[in-house]
A and B are shown apart, each in its own frame.
Chain A
Amino acid sequence: MSTSQQPYLQCVRSTLTAALCLQNFGCQEVERHNKPEVEVGKSKEVILNPVVISRNENEKVMIEPSVNSLRFSIKIKQADELEEVLVAKFMRFLMQRAEHFMVLRRKAVPGYDLSFLITNVHTETMFKNKVVDFVIQFMEDIDKEVSAMKLGVNSRGRVVAAKFLEQFTY
């Protein structure tokens, strides 16, 4: 938990708490339907302005609120090509299991690595502050996991190369 990240995470936390004031809203385009308005995108008046909170040009978060749903997209810091591949594979792994997470979206919003879709059904059944805690914790853990994986790749590469080259020694 780096201290330099704290103001950034605090800002994301308070914005999320405010944006998560969701309520049930019957679809006004299609009768007897109830859809997340941020995904439909047709009724402009019930969708609020998207907010982008960026720590630097590589790390940012976009929050798109609406009356009954919220889309939260994260762009994870990827310093080099190896991290880009690792993040892509890790996110793909998580997004394939999106129904276990309940609030995860199966495809990330273009321009971002991972997206959450939180609807009024989630805020009615779960504690709102715990959902926010989960998202913030997720953001912290992702960075740690990616660095740990990168170290793991490098150390495994070294071990494999050493074993392979052993056969050429005499």
Chain B
Amino acid sequence: PSSWTMSVSAARAMFEGGSASPGGGSAGGARSKSGDGPALYSVLKLDDTTKRPMPISCFAMNQDGSMVAFSPNNNEVHIAEVKEGAFNVLHVLSEHDQKVTFVDWAPKTNRILTCSEDRNAYVWDFSDTWKPTLVLLRINRAATYAKWSNNETKFAVASGQKCVAICYYEEESNWWVSKLVEGFESTVLTVSWHASDIAFAAGSSDGTVRLFTAAVKGVDSKPSQIFGPDVSFKKMGTEICVIQTNAWVQDMAFSPSSEVLAYATHDSSVHFLSVPSGAAPSQEGVQSVRCSGLPHRRVLFLAEDTLVAGGHDNNPTLYCLRGGKWAEGKKLDSGTSVKKESSASSSARSAAFKKFEMSSSQGIDDKNPEADAVLTTVHQNAISGLGTCAAWKEGGRSSKVVSVGLDGRLCSWPVPSLEEAMAGLSIGAQV
């Protein structure tokens, strides 16, 4: 079928005499119909047999945005370098047996952390090639999420065993050991580190967000009472607070100063918890913002007052803080960049070719011409990863953000200024 479609489109190109868009190569780009301009998106990996883009389940960037690590929804992790907008896969890391669920790149120490459904996590160091070090996680269910701490001496791995494993490097045994933090009632879906690295927040499918202490003797210096005198950091993994939500917590992130913890839940809302210094956070400190569309899957702070969230809407959306209140701002994809082919100018023969090609490969027929397979957003399927890097930060604000989706596409978006993002906001968009 795929070779037939390509021959039809080649035949169409002969008749139309216009520029056909080839699919080939391991990483193609797409340009908008109006001619030259930056590519709208890049396809990271094509499946070897069907030549269709493979969904990207997770992705991470290095410090200067020159390399990306991603998993094409299987047990491999691909490292690709970015050169003038094209992606060349340099290394394939295939130590895992089952699907890789998360990849995180520690920017300063240049180490990659991967975790997978096969209950394992590996830390990869680069010296000519990427060499894996097994992490002794001691979990007996899938690992779902993994994050390096801000100082990159520890990391947290969330798992289906309803716990989080805090791992640190033990010099005597020469490998990474873990301490399990219990307390959840269901699979832990996401973890985020506090700026101090001695506390972290985790969200789960039991609908709660919990903060725990994570000060490890020998790795962290003596912790101060950042949450007030009631919270003691003596024992690792003590629960600081529990925040209830109505739905599964999909992703969370601490703001750069860790004053705010943002988390997206499956009931199509984004919540902002204020984390003041000197007291434990409480349910009253939560501001909830209702999303205008389907639930978000990933969130990322671009600045202290701007958050980008992407998910099942296929459209990265900004959330901005104005006058002490968070509200939904602009969507980065305006829906106008994907141009539909105009059939008026083509000849009768190519229209006939197109009709049969469309109905067989994409399920469009005459009865319902406006039901198009191609969506108006650049992403054709849910967004599964958002990333920015230190090199794109100017004065504490990220100027560019990259999104990857289950359609296999990677798109980079310029971040508008705060005024542009807030323009057209309606009052009262809050729960």
A binds B: yes
A residues with a Cβ closer than 8 A to B are 17-18, 21, 23-28, 31-32, 34, 43, 45-46, 67, 123-125, 127-130, 133-134
Interface pair B381/A26, CB less than 8 Å apart: no
List 5 additional A-B contacts (Cβ < 8 Å) besides A28-B141, A31-B141, A128-B381.
A21-B294, A26-B187, A45-B205, A123-B381, A124-B55
Q: Using a CB-CB cutoff of 8 Å, which residues 95-126 of chain B contact chain A?
A: 98-99, 101, 117-119
Q: How far is the CA of A134 from the CA of B364 in the complex (A)?
A: 11
Would you list 14 pairs from A and B whose C-beta atoms are within 8 A, ordered by A residue? A17-B294, A21-B312, A26-B160, A28-B141, A28-B162, A32-B117, A46-B205, A46-B248, A123-B381, A124-B381, A125-B52, A125-B55, A127-B381, A128-B381
Q: How far is the CA of A134 from the CA of B368 in the complex (A)?
A: 12
Q: Contacts A26-B101, A45-B206 given; indicate if A32 touches B57 (C-beta within 8 A).
A: no
Q: How far is the CA of A25 from the CA of B101 in the complex (A)?
A: 9
| Residue of A23, A34, A45 contacting most chain B CB atoms (<10 Å) | A23
Interface pair A133/B186, CB less than 8 Å apart: no
Question: Which chain A residue has the least Cβ–Cβ distance from B375?
Answer: A129
B residues with a Cβ closer than 8 A to A are 52, 55, 57, 73, 98-99, 101, 117-119, 140-142, 144, 160-162, 185-187, 205-207, 248, 250, 266, 294-295, 297, 311-312, 362-363, 371, 373, 375, 380-382, 406
On chain B, the residues within 8 Å of A125 by CB distance are 52, 55
On chain B, the residues within 8 Å of A43 by CB distance are 186
Q: How far is the CA of A124 from the CA of B380 in the complex (A)?
A: 10
From A26, A129, A130, A133, contact of B117 by CB (8 A): A26
Interface pair B55/A21, CB less than 8 Å apart: no
On chain B, the residues within 8 Å of A133 by CB distance are 363, 371
On chain A, the residues within 8 Å of B362 by CB distance are 130
Interface pair A134/B142, CB less than 8 Å apart: no
From A17, A28, A34, A130, contact of B99 by CB (8 A): A34
Q: Contacts A45-B185, A45-B205 given; indicate if A26 touches B141 (C-beta within 8 A).
A: yes
From B73, B185, B186, contact of A124 by CB (8 A): B73
Question: Which chain A residue has the least Cβ–Cβ distance from B52?
Answer: A125
From A26, A127, A128, A129, contact of B142 by CB (8 A): A26
Interface pair B142/A67, CB less than 8 Å apart: no
Q: How far is the CA of A32 from the CA of B96 in the complex (A)?
A: 12
Question: Which chain B residue has the least Cβ–Cβ distance from A120?
Answer: B406
Q: Contacts A32-B98, A45-B186 given; indicate if A26 touches B294 (C-beta within 8 A).
A: no
On chain B, the residues within 8 Å of A46 by CB distance are 186-187, 205, 248
Interface pair B297/A26, CB less than 8 Å apart: no
Interface pair B363/A130, CB less than 8 Å apart: yes
Q: How far is the CA of A123 from the CA of B73 in the complex (A)?
A: 13
On chain A, the residues within 8 Å of B162 by CB distance are 28
Interface pair A31/B119, CB less than 8 Å apart: yes
Interface pair A21/B295, CB less than 8 Å apart: yes
On chain B, the residues within 8 Å of A127 by CB distance are 373, 375, 380-381
On chain A, the residues within 8 Å of B57 by CB distance are 24
On chain A, the residues within 8 Å of B160 by CB distance are 26-28
Q: Contacts A124-B406, A127-B380 given; indicate if A24 touches B205 (C-beta within 8 A).
A: no
